[in-house]
Copies of this chain bind each other. A is one copy, B any other.
Amino acid sequence: MSTSEPAPERAPRIAVIGGGQLARMMAQPAIAMGVPLRLLAEAEGVSAAQVIPDQQVGDYRDLATLRAVTAGCSVVTFDHEHVPTEHLRALAADGVIAHPGPEALVHAQDKIVMREAMARLEAPQPRWAVVESLADVEAFGLPCVLKVSRGGYDGKGVWVVRTSADAAEPLAAAERTGVRLLAEELVEFRRELSALVARAPSGQAAAYPVVATLQVDGVCREVIAPAPDLDESVAAGAQQLALRIAGELGVTGILAVELFEATTPDGETCVLINELAMRPHNTGHWTQDGAVTSQFENHLRAALDLPLGSPAPRARWSVMVNILGGDDDLGEVARLYDGYPHALARDPQLRVHLYGKDLRPGRKVGHVNVFGDDLEDCLERGRHAAAWFRGDLGNHSE
């Protein structure tokens, strides 16, 4: 249902496909910018549907639904990367331009297409190959990482394969779903980095400081901005790499280039491309409180081809810690909201972002941002607050 009358056309309207927390967090800068959003939510009451009045509920895989939700919108952007390429081409023919566009977006949808493009660009990446059989995997060499080319996220669709037996599950999964499999060298990395850039259709681009990210079981847990002890030339090189990829692939909006920081055989520090994402990204949530212009605002500015805002940091250090549901059974009594009294009283500078979701094991339900001059202090405060909200420090709902 469309829940509001069409407003007078004070500004272009942006369609957003997908009702998760990324769309929810786009709503905040859209309010400040005076730019209306129209949401396609996968169900009533999901995260972004709680906060965007102009919304429809439907299936993003259905072209008629996409046409209905984008009617009257100048541009369409995304909470996720799953909208079929052919639908985006059909919308463009209707005059609704997608940011990022289908030709760019496919590199975030299909890991094999991405690896091929990075090879063409001679961008640094792990050794890789398309594999179809156990023989292919063994020929590639073990240990390795197997990934489905499409549809994986947050560690799902990724397997570390140390023995031939380990390859059985991914090979069967690929056979069952018809998705191609990619083998990648198991990189011995020092840590993971992320280079986040925004790029507008005009070609203007802005690079955020390169951050260090801690991933646990394939899920982002913590981000430190800027990455501590990162060689300046490596940091600048990673920014230039992300800007070059954004330009060469014609990305519009936010591009996150997830990187491994590794060491070459000669002992030099290098970066290798792990993944690309073309939307506001978990490794950029720190920018909401730590940068002059947040990734969400710059994503919207880029979609509208407006000049981008400064990506400069506002504090010496910014730390983001995700609030994830734990394995323990918190039951239905745990309300994230009940974490506020202690968390806010302990740290009056804490910035909390909750997504309107219930706390369930492994689910991203919010994050906290902390900034300051002392990194250890920021980490302690951020970790304490996130642990408190997830109930690790005692069940706060009692």
Contact = CB atoms under 8 A, between A and B. Distances in A.
Contact of A49 (B4, B10, B34, B353): B4
B352 A306 contact: no
Contact of A4 (B3, B28, B308, B309): B3
A189 interface: no
A33 B310 contact: no
A86 interface: no
Interface in A299-334: 301, 304, 306-310, 312, 314
Contacts of A364: none
A157 to B, nearest CB: 30
A250 interface: no
B36 A31 contact: no
Complex copy number for this chain: 2
Interface residues of A, number: 59
A162 to B, nearest CB: 41
A335 interface: yes
A362 interface: no
> What does DSSP make chain A's interface, helix, strand, loop or mixed?
loop
Contacts of A30: 51
A356 B50 CA distance: 20
Contacts of A348: 206, 292-293, 307-310
B309 A354 contact: no
Given A4-B50, A307-B348, A31 B28 contact: yes
B45 A356 contact: no
Interface string A334-362: 01110011001100111111111010000
